[in-house]
Amino acid sequence: KKRFLLSLSLSLSLAVPSLHAEDNGFFIGAGYQIGEAVQMVKNTGELKELNEKYEQLNQYLNQVASLRQSIQNANNIELVNSSLNYLKSFTNNNYNSTTQSPIFNAVQAVITSVLGFWSLYAGNYFTFFVGSGNQVSNVQGNPPFSTIINNCPGLENCAMNQTTYNEMKKLAESLQAAQTNATTKGNNLCALSGCATTEGQNPPNSTVSSALETAQKLMDLIANTKTAMMWKNIVISGVSNASGAITSTNYPTQYAVFNNIKAMIPILQQAVTLSQNNHTLSTSLQAQATGTQTNPNFAKDIYAFAQNQKQIISYAQDIFNLFSSIPKDQYNYLEKAYLKIPNAGSTPTNPYRQVVNLNQEIQTIQNNVSYYGNRVDSALSVARDVYNLKSNEAEIVTAYSSANNL
């Protein structure tokens, strides 16, 4: 046992003098010393104690190596500035751009999907019957009463009063106007930063916040009205007449395509608010990497800044996951909803969008997550090192001391 303690104390003494000791060389030296001691030990209890100390030593060495790297990162001005500049660039694009903003792109896909579901539910040819009192309402798209006899088994309410339908239709038209510029027929949603006051050029004039609020009202009204949809009333060439066509009748809330889209809206509302708040934080950050000794707020702010961006990317991933979990048969209808045709079988008279590529909009979300995600993770790691600089300096001293006291 004395031979073991002597060997162990000699090996540990190599670790103490400096934070810049050759950790790898020390580990190899300690390993040989302890390995030699193991060969000399005959007592089972001493061997168990030796193994435990060896494991503890290995843990301390790993902790020291990790803390040392973290301290070096926090004191690397070039690395910290590079991470901060990337975070600021991401925030600027997410806040000001309509082509390089993960959250703006996600908003576009969700608004498209809300309008797509509305088209399935009530576009051109309704999946329910509209009446007022005991009278059939004279509204374009109202199906003959025979569809209820044939397609509604009577267990669900397949009729809606005209007042409620008119309210839904108004919300849907407002949402369409928010997405598509009436004059240019192009995008009408402004970047997260808000709408520019440019006269005479018909620029986008609808904020994402107001569009999401309208979408939320429409989906809430559909859910709360509890009027079933008769999927047999949906005629889409290549979908409703193909394998996997849906023929059921049930309330919208019984289908994942409705529930998932509805669940996306509050996620995006949180993402928009966080994106706007993070832009405000970005303007207050000082681009210097001198640690908390000269700027006590810098470490706290850059860490919060990076954490927010990680959460923003996480929100975008949540949206993609909700799209991905829509059953294929229901997604096929949503993807082609703008091609839904009237009962007469003619070309749609009033589709909510002429051309929709929902697949592309959804894939853009995932592309953004993949592109920005790894870079945000790297910047967050550096920001965490800056934030933990002082505590890491204290921990590394403690780790060396604990190893020396084995």
Question: Rounded to whole angstroms, how far apart are CA atoms 94 and 101?
Answer: 4
Measured CA distances, 340 to 105, 152, 335, 350 (Å): 25, 20, 11, 10
Question: Rounded to whole angstroms, how far apart are CA atoms 317 and 163?
Answer: 38
Residue-wise DSSP of 373-403: HHHHHHHHHHHHHHHTHHHHHHHHHHHHHHH
Q: Which amino acid is at 244?
A: G
* Contact of 168 with 221, CB cutoff 8 Å: yes
3-state secondary structure of 126: coil
pLDDT of residue 307: 97
Question: Rounded to whole angstroms, how far apart are CA atoms 329 and 267?
Answer: 25
Residue pointed to by tokens 């046992």: 1
Instruction: Using DSSP bridges, classify how beta strands 129-132 and 249-250 pair: parallel, antiparallel or unpaired.
Output: unpaired
302 sits in the region (left: phi over 0; alpha: psi -120 to 50; else beta) called alpha
Question: Rounded to whole angstroms, how far apart are CA atoms 41 and 43?
Answer: 6
User: Any residues with CB less than 8 A from the CB of 232 and at least 6 apart, and which?
Assistant: 147, 150, 151, 247, 249
User: Any residues with CB less than 8 A from the CB of 353 and at least 6 apart, and which?
Assistant: 112, 115, 176, 179, 180, 338
Residue-wise DSSP of 165-212: HHHHHHHHHHHHHHHB-TTT-SB-BPPTT------SS----B-HHHHH
pLDDT in tens, 180-231: 887 888 889 999 999 987 766 778 889 999 999 999 999 999 999 999 999 9
Question: Rounded to whole angstroms, how far apart are CA atoms 107 and 109?
Answer: 5
pLDDT of residue 172: 93
Q: Largest Cα–Cα distance of the chain, in whole Å?
A: 102
Question: Rounded to whole angstroms, how far apart are CA atoms 274 and 308?
Answer: 7
Question: Rounded to whole angstroms, how far apart are CA atoms 158 and 166?
Answer: 16
The alpha carbon torsion through 384, 104, 259, 159 (nearest 10 deg) reads: 160
Query: What does pTM read for this prediction?
Result: 0.82
pLDDT of residue 37: 54
Pull the structure tokens for residue 355: 């051309």
Pull the structure tokens for residue 18: 């400096």
Question: At 243, which helix (H) or strand (E)?
Answer: none
Question: At 263, which helix (H) or strand (E)?
Answer: helix 256-284
What phi and psi values does residue 357 have, to the nearest 5 degrees? -125, 80
pLDDT of residue 113: 96
Weakly modelled stretches of the chain, pLDDT under 50:
1-32, 287-294, 345
* Contact of 221 with 227, CB cutoff 8 Å: no
Measured CA distances, 169 to 49, 107, 189, 215 (Å): 77, 21, 20, 12
pLDDT in tens, 338-389: 877 765 545 555 555 556 789 999 999 999 999 998 899 999 999 999 999 9
127 sits in the region (left: phi over 0; alpha: psi -120 to 50; else beta) called alpha
3-state secondary structure of 349: coil
What pairs with residue 108 in β-bridges? none
